[in-house]
Amino acid sequence: MRFRKSFKSPVKESLKKILSKHLQYNNITNIDFEQYLIIAEYCIIKCQANIFSNTELKTFFQSEHVANMSQTQLDKASYILQLFSDWKHDKRSEKCRGIATFCNYCNNLATLIDSKIIYGSSKGNIYLCSNYPSCNAYVGVHKGDNWPLGTLAVYYGPILPPIMVQSSHPS
């Protein structure tokens, strides 16, 4: 499945306001806000995830709404719904420490690791295929939540110049 964008609506506008304020209040920046909104919209508007009750949120993650989600999408949805739940219960939120990310070449889980291993010096975190160095696919991350910038890309050489990093959301 894919999280899809839909048309503007008053409910979507209020989700946007809540999310934007809550992120600002918790100093969570350098994230893909548009993607957060799409996920919030899908879970809260389309699937009616109940952010008021933690028990009902648990039920949501056992429901058919999430049956077609990948582990990566589930991790993203859990984080976004936690943000709304925290907002509802007047609690602070922490930045996301990372999500399950898989190599699209060999299907292994990727490890969140300092980019020093590839670049020789640190340029922030990357998801590196756990099959490294047999498979040297990796991808950079958004600094604010450690979500991957796109899918893992392979480089057939020892050290990758930063310009070669493939990204669907350059930041």
> Is residue 130 near Zn ion by the rule CB under 5 A?
no
Of the ranges 24-32, 73-81, 117-125, 135-143, which one interacts with Zn ion (CB under 5 A)?
Answer: 135-143
3-state secondary structure of 154: strand
> Is residue 153 near Zn ion by the rule CB under 5 A?
no
**Given the complex with Zn ion, which of 43 and 137 has the nearer CB atom?**
137
Sheet holding 125-129, edge to edge: 110-114, 125-129, 137-140, 153-154
**Cα–Cα distance for residue pair 155/157, rounded to 1 Å:** 6
**Cα–Cα distance for residue pair 82/60, rounded to 1 Å:** 12
* CA of residue 61 relative to chain centroid, distance: 17
Report in angstroms how near the CB of residue 156 gets to Zn ion at its nearest. 13
> Is residue 106 near Zn ion by the rule CB under 5 A?
yes
**Given the complex with Zn ion, which of 131 and 167 has the nearer CB atom?**
131
Question: Residues in contact with Zn ion, total (CB under 5 A)?
Answer: 7
Report the run of H or E that residue 79 belongs to, with start and end.
helix 71-88
Report in angstroms how near the CB of residue 102 gets to Zn ion at its nearest. 8
> Is residue 128 near Zn ion by the rule CB under 5 A?
no
**Given the complex with Zn ion, which of 82 and 131 has the nearer CB atom?**
131
**Given the complex with Zn ion, which of 1 and 109 has the nearer CB atom?**
109
- The residues near 94 (Cβ < 8 Å, ≥ 6 apart) are 26
Task: Name the residues that contact Zn ion, by CB under 5 A.
Answer: 103, 105-106, 129, 131, 135, 137
